[in-house]
Structure 1
Amino acid sequence: MTETPDHRIVLVHAHPDDECIGTGATMARYVDEGVGVTLVTCTAGEMGEVLVPELEYLAFEKDGGLGEHRRGELDEAMKVLGVTDHRFLGGFGRFHDSGMAWHEDGHAIPAESIPDNAFWTADLNAAADELVKVLREVRPQVLVTYDEFGGYGHPDHIQAHRVAMYAAQLAAAPSYKLDLGEPHDVAKIYWTAMSESRMRESLRQLRESGDTETFKGMEPDGKLPPFVTPDELISARVDGSAQVQRKMDALAKHDTQVEQDGHFFSGAESGHSWWSDEYFRLVKGTPGKVGADGFEEDLFAGL
């Protein structure tokens, strides 16, 4: 019988690859520390863009099959991070990637045509119940998901936020659907964040280096998009410098979604400086001890 780790964290993400971009270093760090890490992915990312020319036939609008392929990418990425407990919400294929469109203001919005069984239009109770099962089984002290805008407006990110927040409430209710497991109250809930000061610093370095294409339209002292969070709203900074190479190696496994010579892996904002620190907003629970920069250094601080 496998011994249950003392500390446990559940992360709720919308599509394969989201977990690496925002929380890959955090996941790898906690694996290294013996924490129980559970990833719940809400869709298989069937509507994603295919960046590998020889695999373009997998696209939803062509032959299809991208979701199954991305399932394999996720498996490989989790092997790199060392995460052994990763699940699709309700099982693989239960909820379909909803797709998205771009608003003229630069953020994502629902597309005009939404696939059948799209996560965006799923019954909230039905989707939340699937996560209630996980929370009551795993019994994490910490839950991580997106903010109410899903970072940048993607409908599946917004729905993941709604499902995670609602499921956390339902999981704790002592009289709610006891067939889903024994009630469990998650002690701390965090939303992922991108530090404004870090973004401005990176933009300054990029522009000073002569790079005008990366994050085009954003300037060091200008208005920033909604996925950037003012530092005063951020509660925690996880230092993943010891794990960042694994994060980037894991992200590279999502090869249909990220360009291997793109901005994730090249340029002043890449790799070991930009992607090693991961930021979070505490939205439930009591803050723990903070470091010299004023942020918690551990999502389990105070527990």
Structure 2
Amino acid sequence: MLTAAPRLLLVHAHPDDESLTTGGTIARYAAAGVQVTVVTCTLGEEGEVIPPSLAGLVAAESDQLGGYRVGELRAACAALGVSDHRYLGGMGRWRDSGMVGTAAAAGVPRDLHPRAFAAGDPDEQADQLAQVIAEVAPQVVITYGAEGGYGHPDHIRVHDITTAAVSGAPDVVRVFHAVNSGAALAEGVEALRGFDGLPWRLPGADDLPTTDDSLITTVVDVADHLPAKVRALRAHATQVSVWRGDGGEQAYSLSNAIALPVLDREHYVLAKGPAGAAADLFAGLVPAGAGANR
């Protein structure tokens, strides 16, 4: 059982990752009085841009997207109630690596930027993160699984350095990997079928990386915090489009124009620490009535 106030730290690769995969969780625990710290490792400089009016921001043009996304991330964190946001090594220390070296970038050779996160020294990066962990002293840490969710080299590096950084952190009791539930995603996509006006195509069988539900250990109910999550998604307007149907149905899409449901649950795999209740990251760690259990 914790003797200090509950503290949650999330490590993400790019601006928008915090909202896409963990936005509801952040909003839920922040609203419950938990100190929530988000660490973002790059400015997302290599992202694509959805609004045509902002297309000139991309790396191949003015290369100003990273600075623009700082403002988007600030607005998203405010929507979610984040009390403490940090950039790994300081703002701009590490640059988005893009999809270099992955199947998605096959046939498009490109040298990595000198500050590319995936090309940086992992020991240096892990040490930078360990310093944040030592200062914040979180009991629960969230990041990605070993595959980085969908194979992005920056997500994989985030997993690697977080795993290294928490290994010597005495305050960290549990580590979770944020994942997509195959069953929940299929259910959400099915619910979108037949809605008039959905501006994007529904995903095919191979479009979305998911985790077998038998491996998922914790399902966080974020239904009461979907308005905050949707506001955060809307804040990332260069990367995310949000749709609301006449009946209140909600979906979003990235630049690939594939419709994704806004789910009322977020899913995790316990990677380190004692098992707890299947619906609370802090279960068994916080006294009844304390922040995380509200």
**TM-score scaled by length of structure 2:** 0.84
Report the 3-state secondary structure (helix = DSSP H, G, I; strand = E; otherwise coil) of the residue aligned with 2:142: strand
Aligned counterpart in structure 2 of residue 161 of structure 1, from 159, 163, 174: 159
Aligned counterpart in structure 2 of residue 241 of structure 1, from 211, 223, 242: 223
* Structure 2 residue aligned with 1:221: none
- Cα distance in structure 2, aligned partners of 1:11 and 1:102: 26
Cα displacement (A) at 1:200: 2.4
Q: Residue by residue, what CA displacement relative to the aligned partner does 1:201-240 show, whole Å, maximum 9, x if unpaired?
A: 234334566989634322xxxxx56720111100111111
1:216 aligns to 2:215 (yes or no): no
Aligned counterpart in structure 1 of residue 173 of structure 2, from 164, 169, 187: 187
Cα displacement (A) at 1:81: 1.0
The change in CA–CA distance for 1:268 and 1:96 in structure 2 (over 3 A counts) is closer
- Cα distance in structure 2, aligned partners of 1:268 and 1:39: 27
Which residue identity is paired with 2:220?
V
1:278 aligns to 2:266 (yes or no): yes
1:126 aligns to 2:124 (yes or no): yes
- Cα distance in structure 2, aligned partners of 1:237 and 1:260: 24
Which residue identity is paired with 2:124?
A
- Cα distance in structure 2, aligned partners of 1:110 and 1:166: 33
* Structure 2 residue aligned with 1:196: 182
Q: Residue by residue, what CA displacement relative to the aligned partner does 1:46-85 show, whole Å, maximum 9, x if unpaired?
A: 0111112122121111111111110111011111111120
Unmatched segments (≥5 aa) in structure 1? 173-183, 219-223, 290-295
* Structure 1 residue aligned with 2:209: 227
CA contact (8 A) 1:22 1:192 kept: yes
Report the 3-state secondary structure (helix = DSSP H, G, I; strand = E; otherwise coil) of the residue aligned with 1:243: helix
**TM-score scaled by length of structure 1:** 0.82
* Structure 2 residue aligned with 1:9: 8
CA contact (8 A) 1:236 1:299 kept: yes
Which residue identity is paired with 2:25?
T
Identity of aligned residues (%): 42
RMSD: 2.7
Which residue identity is paired with 1:282?
L
- Cα distance in structure 2, aligned partners of 1:248 and 1:152: 22
Q: Residue by residue, what CA displacement relative to the aligned partner does 1:142-177 show, whole Å, maximum 9, x if unpaired?
A: 0000011111001111111111111111x33xxxxx
Cα displacement (A) at 1:301: 1.0
Cα displacement (A) at 1:198: 1.0
- Cα distance in structure 2, aligned partners of 1:110 and 1:143: 37
- Cα distance in structure 2, aligned partners of 1:58 and 1:213: 24
Which residue identity is paired with 1:287?
A
How do 1:67-146 residues align onto structure 2 when only pairs under 5 Å count?
A: 67-100=66-99, 112-113=109-110, 114-146=112-144
Cα displacement (A) at 1:100: 1.1
Cα displacement (A) at 1:14: 0.4
Report the 3-state secondary structure (helix = DSSP H, G, I; strand = E; otherwise coil) of the residue aligned with 2:33: coil
- Cα distance in structure 2, aligned partners of 1:10 and 1:110: 37
Q: How many residues align?
A: 272
CA contact (8 A) 2:35 2:83 kept: no
